[in-house]
A and B are shown apart, each in its own frame.
Chain A
Amino acid sequence: MMEQKLLNRRDAIILLSLAAVGILLWLLFQTGSREHVTAEITVDNTCIARYDLSSAPKGTITLPQAEGVVFEISDQGIRISKNDCPGRQCVHTGWISRPNQTIVCLPKKLMIQLTGSEDAPPDVVI
């Protein structure tokens, strides 16, 4: 008799792998939307630029209000890659990527501060 079970071993394996992929996707999605880290660049306590690190441009940035400074954003976070200040303490700080981390350049009164939030920042403020 060729009586077949509704679910044989191979079917079970396929179903399990489906479930595994599903869970994996769900986990990825969770981590993807968990937190947005925003980098705020201030000079003399005035904000000159703000970037959402998850969606911001990857690459180098120069800002007219921060002469001589080159910022860089990558998957590792944000850093000051070049600065013509004395000491270059800020450049040596390297990458920062987690909320509440900072990079400071005292000679230029410049600071990068990271903050985290549950919600995505808006595309534009008017």
Chain B
Amino acid sequence: MKIKENFRFFLKKAPAVWLCAAGVWLTSCGSQPMWQDTFYTMDTVVTLTLPESDANATRKSLEALSQQLDCYANQGALAALNASGTSQDADLRDVITQTILLEDQFGTGVQLSSGALSRLWGITSEHPQVPTDADRLAALETLGDDRIRLDRSGVTLPADMQLDLGAVAKGYALDQTARQWQDAGISWGILSLRSSVLLYGSKPGGEDFTVQIQDPNGAGILGTVTTPACFLSTSGGYERFFEADGMRYCHILDLTTGRPTETDLTSVTVFTDNGLKSDFLSTLLFLEGSEHLEPHLHAADYQVLAVDAAGKIYCSDGLQFQKAGA
């Protein structure tokens, strides 16, 4: 009798419970206001997606940071450092310190002191050119991030050295943005700098983010990665390059030869919990080529998705990757 009473009580109350649940469910699926903004800074097209209209603050700080860290800009902290050999800028010091820590761990395939070499080739500038062998070898001599002097007050460069933060600046900008969003209490957001992306927080439905990976060997897509919040960066030779005398030159320079890389990989995407690290590693792994890829596929603190010129896909164990058309 008691059990039956309870059962009837449950039935009586059930519709009310169900209606409440339906109400909550409907509101959660309803059109939550979301803002998307597209603009040009950090030398790329930026797409910003946020649930609240806080896009302006993010845009402003990105534009400011872009000015500070661009090696081709005429003003800003990096331009001043390259001109005078010394700087007290906190961001600059922070980027350099973090990058050198990564070099200690992963090697010096990617170095910030490649400024003279980058400038010589000018691949990402408006006037790229193939330098003479003598100029190239002279620029190689200026390399060596271990010669950068860091102290509490700032950064000092040897007289011959020029910095280029191209390999890590976007990733650092993502880190700064994530910190800002955390301070502002933003629940989730996406910041795409095209080759580097911040996936922040958790989406309203709680489902993971979906990332479509472009196929560097064709016009289509390689597949889709499903991932919780993270930072990701892609390095590849397919979007930025220049052609001279029938040769196609990649924008990423091999610091052992001083020439554009001749890696057998066409694209490397790295997923991890830090923007600068994802940027640094995607460039490094791309330069190292498929023969050195294997240990990276089993790393505990980052995941990799790479493809070579033959179309072979390399994918980390922990990555949820669905190949296109599969």
Q: Is A125 an interface residue (CB 8 A)?
A: yes
Stretch from B125-133, B142-150, B210-218, B253-261 contacting the other chain: B210-218
Give min CB distance, A123 to chain B, whole Å: 5
Contacting B at CB under 8 A, from A29-88, are: 32, 48-49, 51, 54-59, 61, 63-64, 75
Assuming the contacts A28-B26, A56-B34, asked whether A126 and B190 have C-beta atoms less than 8 A apart, the reply is no
Q: How many residues on the A side are at the interface (Cβ–Cβ under 8 A)?
A: 31
Q: Is B299 an interface residue (CB 8 A)?
A: no
Partner of A14, one of B14, B36, B39: B14
The answer on a CB contact under 8 Å between B18 and A57 is: no
Q: Is B224 an interface residue (CB 8 A)?
A: yes
Contacting B at CB under 8 A, from A1-40, are: 4, 11, 14-15, 17-18, 21-22, 24-25, 28, 32
Give B204's nearest chain A residue, CB to CB: A55
Q: Is B11 an interface residue (CB 8 A)?
A: yes
Q: Is B92 an interface residue (CB 8 A)?
A: no
Determine the distance from Cα of A54 to Cα of B31 in the docked complex, in whole angstroms: 7
Q: Is A107 an interface residue (CB 8 A)?
A: no
The answer on a CB contact under 8 Å between B38 and A49 is: yes
Determine the distance from Cα of A58 to Cα of B26 in the docked complex, in whole angstroms: 18
Chain A interface mostly: mixed
30 contacts between A and B (CB under 8 A): A11-B8, A14-B12, A14-B14, A18-B11, A21-B18, A21-B22, A24-B22, A28-B26, A32-B29, A49-B38, A51-B36, A54-B31, A57-B36, A58-B31, A58-B34, A64-B39, A120-B210, A122-B210, A122-B212, A122-B224, A123-B190, A123-B199, A123-B203, A124-B209, A124-B211, A124-B212, A125-B213, A125-B221, A126-B213, A126-B269
Neighbouring A residues of B3 by C-beta, 8 Å? none
Partner of A25, one of B25, B34, B214, B221: B25
Contacting B at CB under 8 A, from A93-126, are: 120, 122-126
Contacting A at CB under 8 A, from B184-198, are: 190, 192, 194-195, 197
Neighbouring B residues of A55 by C-beta, 8 Å? 31, 34
Assuming the contacts A59-B35, A63-B38, asked whether A14 and B11 have C-beta atoms less than 8 A apart, the reply is yes
Partner-A contacts on B (CB < 8 A):
4, 8, 11-12, 14-15, 18-19, 22, 25-26, 29, 31, 33-36, 38-40, 47, 49, 190, 192, 194-195, 197, 199, 203, 209-214, 221, 224, 232, 234, 269
Neighbouring A residues of B211 by C-beta, 8 Å? 122-126
Neighbouring B residues of A61 by C-beta, 8 Å? 36
Determine the distance from Cα of A8 to Cα of B203 in the docked complex, in whole angstroms: 45
Neighbouring A residues of B195 by C-beta, 8 Å? 126
Give A21's nearest chain B residue, CB to CB: B18
Interface centre among B36, B197, B203 (most CB of A within 10 A): B36
Assuming the contacts A11-B11, A63-B38, A64-B40, asked whether A126 and B22 have C-beta atoms less than 8 A apart, the reply is no
Interface centre among B12, B212, B232 (most CB of A within 10 A): B212
Neighbouring B residues of A51 by C-beta, 8 Å? 36
The answer on a CB contact under 8 Å between B36 and A56 is: yes
The answer on a CB contact under 8 Å between A126 and B224 is: no
Partner of B35, one of A18, A22, A57: A57
The answer on a CB contact under 8 Å between A125 and B35 is: no
The answer on a CB contact under 8 Å between B18 and A18 is: yes
Give min CB distance, B232 to chain A, whole Å: 6
